[in-house]
Amino acid sequence: MPNNTLALDVGPHVVRAALVERTLRSQRVLGVYAQPRLDGGDLGADLRALAAQHGIAWDEVVSALPGDLVTHRILDLPFHDRKRLEQTVPFELESHLPFELDETVVDFQVLAADADGASRVLAVSAPKAAVRDHLSMLAEAGVDPRLVDLASLAALNVVREAAAGRGGRLAYVGLDAARTTVALLSDGQLHGLRVVSRGVVDPATIDACMREVRWTLLALAGDEPLTALWVGGDAVDTPGAVAALGRALGTTPQPLDAVALAAVPVGLRGKQGVFATPLGLALRQTGNGVPFGIDFRRGEFAYHREREALWRGLARAGVLAAVAVALMVASFVVETRQLAARRDAVRSEIRAVFTAALPGVRTIVNEKAQLQAEIAALEKQRRLFGGLAPSAPRAIDCLRALTAAVPDDVPLDIEELSIDGGTLRLRGSTKTYEGVEAVKRGLAARPEFRNVEAKDVRASVDGQQVDFRLSLDVGGEPAA
């Protein structure tokens, strides 16, 4: 989803703005706008008038402090570790400040770093009072900027696009009504920056301003010729200003209006010079290389809306998660109740079948176990009585055949007799070992029995009897 950023350059007499639509892969300038201001006027009313007049809306705002309100220096340091720079830069800048370090907001940008570990850093300091007044003015207008940049530095992002691919020393002169910015770039890197508290208000102020520009460039670049001189600023259209700049520097200034910026539509390129600051502020996140920019929203002025938005997002996510959990619990409860109802219905059906099958049972504890026990008992009876199949051995027939098989002269005491399917097992005792053999022969002679085996034949404990066990298969035809 596109995000619209409004870049503001708030001046005492005019508010200049650039609206940029940004997506994940690209951004484009939707328009540049100027709204006149009355002395002591309400900035909020001016912004509302600008929005109503041009029919625009924005998602976030970025702004910048004027260059003559800050102190900046380019420092050469023997390291480029970010943490060490954060600790060192404020103290390196302290000797250049007319007030205490704790009364300022310090930020920096690494301009270059070499293979030996050294770095060139642009260090910028603004009074906390200036930052506080700037944010208060915007807050009264209902605006909370995501970042507060340096206006003179932000404009260099337009120059950076214009100078892409060019080598040598390039200069930029920003002619504003209240101040003048002079910047020197060497092979695309910032070599020097100065903001002169003298601007181009009307043709009568041009010559004095150009003298300041000439001496500043001589101090920054020396006698080395410039590859190109770019000019912009809100007073660049002042009659005679560009021509006077060319005469003062002995070269032909090139207006930023002639630069083909990829994010700026062709119809807006004629305004790139006048809107260099808001355009550079808006486009600081695009282009090749590292953009120019710092941010005074540090420490007590840190921007919290993103964090608040994150917490709001997390809170919404928490609410949605809670709703999802509640729905899951509700679904679980409903399904549990449905399963319980189905379970109760199945139990009722089982009870009904159990009662119909065993009407005489009054105490029901476990239908399955009780049914299995009843089935086992019936199966045992079936086996005992021979079942319903005509070919199965019946207990009465086995006893009749057993009685007939034992010789009359052999006394036999039967202690245990069981029929398990087709196998008859017998445990008993007789007087002698010959009696055991006589019983075995008699059983083997019966057609009802097969595979007669005698086991554990031994004298009893008192020596008066001979104990034995017999195992035989039952399955022959009964005797007539």
Q: Count the domains in the chain.
A: 3
Shared domain check, 325 and 296? no
* pLDDT computed for residue 386 by the predictor: 52
Shared domain check, 281 and 133? yes
Q: Give dist(CA 342, CA 36) in Å, integer.
A: 78
* pLDDT computed for residue 98 by the predictor: 74
Q: Give dist(CA 261, CA 277) in Å, integer.
A: 14
The residue range of the domain holding 421 is 386-474
Do the domain assignments include residue 139?
yes
Chosen domain end from 303, 325, 355: 303
Chosen domain end from 383, 398, 425: 383
CATH number at residue 413: 3.30.1360.100
List the one residue out of 270, 74, 260 whose CA is nearest residue 183: 74
Shared domain check, 33 and 145? yes
Q: Are 126 and 298 in contact (CB under 8 A)?
A: no
* pLDDT computed for residue 476 by the predictor: 56
Shared domain check, 151 and 64? yes
* pLDDT computed for residue 363 by the predictor: 84
What is the chain's mean pLDDT, rounded? 85
Q: What pTM does this model have?
A: 0.63
Shared domain check, 432 and 340? no
Q: Which two tokens stand for residue 397?
A: 């027939």
Q: Which two tokens stand for residue 320?
A: 């949605």
Shared domain check, 278 and 159? yes
* pLDDT computed for residue 227 by the predictor: 86
Shared domain check, 339 and 272? no
Chosen domain end from 303, 323, 345: 303
Do the domain assignments include residue 438?
yes
Write the pLDDT tens digit of every residue in 162-197. 676 677 788 999 999 889 999 998 887 888 999 988
Shared domain check, 342 and 394? no
List the one residue out of 219, 249, 178 whose CA is nearest residue 12: 178
Do the domain assignments include residue 480?
no
Do the domain assignments include residue 479?
no
Q: Give dist(CA 379, CA 478) in Å, integer.
A: 23
* pLDDT computed for residue 388 by the predictor: 42
CATH number at residue 150: 3.30.420.380
Shared domain check, 248 and 121? yes
Shared domain check, 354 and 437? no
Shared domain check, 391 and 271? no
Write the pLDDT tens digit of every residue in 443-463. 888 888 888 888 888 888 888
* pLDDT computed for residue 286 by the predictor: 56
Torsion of CA 188, 192, 198, 204, to 10 degrees: -60
Do the domain assignments include residue 211?
yes
* pLDDT computed for residue 464 by the predictor: 87
Average pLDDT per block of 10 residues along the chain, 480 residues long: 88 90 85 86 87 91 90 90 90 81 91 87 92 92 92 87 74 91 88 89 89 90 84 91 91 88 88 92 69 90 71 80 91 91 88 83 82 81 55 69 85 84 86 88 87 88 88 66
